[in-house]
Amino acid sequence: MTAGGRFTPGAGHREIVFLTGSGISARTGLGTFRGPDGLWALEPETEEAMHAELLPGSLPQLWRVWGRMARIARGHGPTPGHRAIARLGAPVITQNIDGLHQAAGSEVVAELHGSALSAVCLEVRCTWSAPLSPGEGSRAEDHGVPGACPLCGAPTRPDVVLFDEQLPQEALELAMRLAQRADLFVAVGTSGVVFPSAQLAPLAASHGATTVLIDIAPPSGSGTLFDHVIAEDAHEVLPDWERRLHRVGGTSFLDPFPD
């Protein structure tokens, strides 16, 4: 703990794992999804287009929405929170599709909801995928990828998980392994109510991890779900953690440090 009472990791925390949601990327201009000021409330037509059952008719809207979000993320770049997590060298489980953790330098990133920076084939049995160049417009070609899959001819789509779709199995399995091995599990900028992400903090806790939530406006009841709730700006908290753990100008982040 710091002198002010805020939880701070110590030398005993050797396996820190982060779970991040849209709150960590909000200052880029992407905003959050839930709540009265979230994307679903402000743009209900976008929320409607996110249902998998509406494909392929919803493809033009999907390309506009995710192309715009990918373009905003790429233009702004990682936030101080993203960069602090990367400097800590901690693995990340993210609900975000913006690629900002990788842009900050994080090497282990489980993307539970896919990526708006790549395209895949609408035919689930097809293996085609390609990176895209975020642009403007409602066609795949507006984002640097073909509208028809080069392998099978089916339409292409942003590689994001829609409502009623399964999360990518490889990413989910990685997330479960990371949660089980963590001795400190930190959720940042996420409501923690969406499954299966909601089970990760309890899973980590069941394997002995200390659990922490960092959110400028924590959801009601968070104190019963996490050992520590820090109702502050993650872009201030995480750089402070990184400075303390690295003892800036000093030695390894695994060494003890004074309170």
Closest CA to 213 of 245, 184, 175, 236: 184
Contact (CB, 8 A) for 180 and 10: no
Token pair for 108: 């282990």
Token pair for 117: 């920076």
Catalytic residue among 13, 82, 113, 246: 113
Is 121 annotated to bind a ligand? Reply is yes
Strand partners, 157: 120
Question: Is 207 among the catalytic positions?
Answer: no
Is 167 annotated to bind a ligand? Reply is no
Burial class from Cβ neighbours inside 10 Å (0-12, 13-18, 19+) for residue 130 reads: middle
Is 152 annotated to bind a ligand? Reply is yes
Closest CA to 127 of 156, 97, 166: 156
DSSP per-residue string spanning 197-247: GGGHHHHHHHTT-EEEEE-SSPPTTGGGT-SEEE-S-HHHHHHHHHHHHHT
Is 223 annotated to bind a ligand? Reply is no
Counting every residue written for the chain, the total comes to 259
As a whole number of Å, the end-to-end CA separation of the chain is 7
The residues annotated as belonging to the active site are 113
Annotated binding site for Zn(2+): 121, 126, 149, 152
Which positions make up the binding site?
121, 126, 149, 152
